[in-house]
Each structure stands twice: as C-alpha cells, then as structure tokens.
Amino acid sequence: MIYYKRYQFQQGGVEIEANQKLKLERYFRNADRFIWGVIPGNKQVVLETLRKVLTEPGKDTSLVPDYRKSTYAMVTENLLSGIGIETIITKIVAGQVRGQFADRSATLDFLRTHWMSGTLPRWQTLQSLRSPRTVKQRLLEVVHPSEPRPTGKQTSDILDAFVQVNNQYQYVHGWTVFAGLWFEEIEPVLGEATPV
C-alpha cells in the first residue's frame, strides 16, 4: 500500500507534515555540503550570498555571522531554530535552484527526466548546460591551465548540487543525495513536481 501525505499551502509558505519536517531537518543537518551545495562558491561567497537572501524576505541576518567567526554547523542550527525548515526549503533552497536555472530552465527538466528514468546524463551534455564561465574563471584557466577545477565540497555550478562528475576522466559518476531529495521530496512539497 502506498501512503501519500497531504501538504497544506498557506500564505506564509508551506506547512509540512510533522514526520516529513523532521526528516527534512535531518537531511539538512547531515548534508555532505552546506545547504546541499545549492549556493556555488567558497565559504565566504556562500555565507555572504545567504546573508543577502535573508535580507530579502526581512529575516534576521544575524543568523549568519561573519564567515571568519562561524562554522557551517553553527549556521545550520541558527537557520533551523531561527527560520525553520519550511522557510529554508521554500525561500533559500528552492529560490537558489530556481534562480540559478532561470536562464536555462530546460536544464532542470532534463535532469528530472534522467532521474525519473534511472539514467545518468552524459558528461558532454552536462558541460554544455553549465553556466558561462566568468572572466575571472577564464583568466585563471589561462594563467594556470594545469590546475584542477574546484572539487569536493565546493560547488562551482548548480549542476554540481545534482550530479557528481569526474572532470579528470570526463564522466558522470552519479547523482548526489540532493538530486533525490529535490525530485522526490522537495518538488512534491512545493507542488512543482511534473509527471514524466
């Protein structure tokens, strides 16, 4: 028997059923990358972007202290206790995913189709879907062509939040935990899931 939970949408955001809320909080706390890597950049860039996001809906920016004085674990707990998982999911995570895919909207549909069919996208196709490199990034590639691109915990493009790629051997290694969470848990909560 399949059990579907009902979600209520309210003016202030999404009200999530208690068990689902606890599960999403655990996913958030135990993520391998801060906020699942949906904000590209190093710690300074990520936390400054997060502070800007929190000023938009009128939230307390003190939840995100200066990057030199805080840890990701501290900010995670501040966000959960200060604004809650519903706001984190709807305003921060979904806002970042939508914003970064705004100029390449078919990319998220492309990833969803591959996720639902149980296949991995091709490395070459993913490279063509990446956002254009900045002038600084291109200059660094010219000056230091042999240095590898950022890997590991740092996200360089929103695609890195969804798929794990091996740039050295040019192949897609697999999906991230966030990909499953986004397509199976977050999109249905937001009411954005599209049948494939």
Question: pLDDT per residue over 136-183, tens digit each?
Answer: 545 555 666 655 444 443 457 889 999 999 888 888 999 999 999 999
Give yes or no: residues 140 and 94 share one domain: no
Same domain, yes or no: 109 and 96: no
Phi, psi of 23 (to 5 degrees): -65, -45
Mean pLDDT of 68-83: 92
Q: Nearest to residue 133, comparing CAs of 121, 110, 149, 120? A: 149
**3-state SS class at 14:** strand
Query: Looking at the 3D structure of the chain, how many domains does it have?
Result: 2
Q: What is the mean pLDDT of the chain?
A: 81
- Domain membership flag for residue 183: no
3-state SS assignment for residue 81: helix
Select from 71, 103, 135 the last residue of a domain.
103
4 within a domain of the structure (yes/no): no
pLDDT in tens, 10-30: 434 566 788 889 999 999 999
CA nearest to 32, candidates 70, 76, 66, 69: 76
With respect to residue 193, please indicate whether it lies within any of the assigned structural domains.
Answer: no
Question: 54: domain range?
Answer: 16-103
Q: Give the span between the Cα atoms of 116 and 196, in whole angstroms.
A: 7
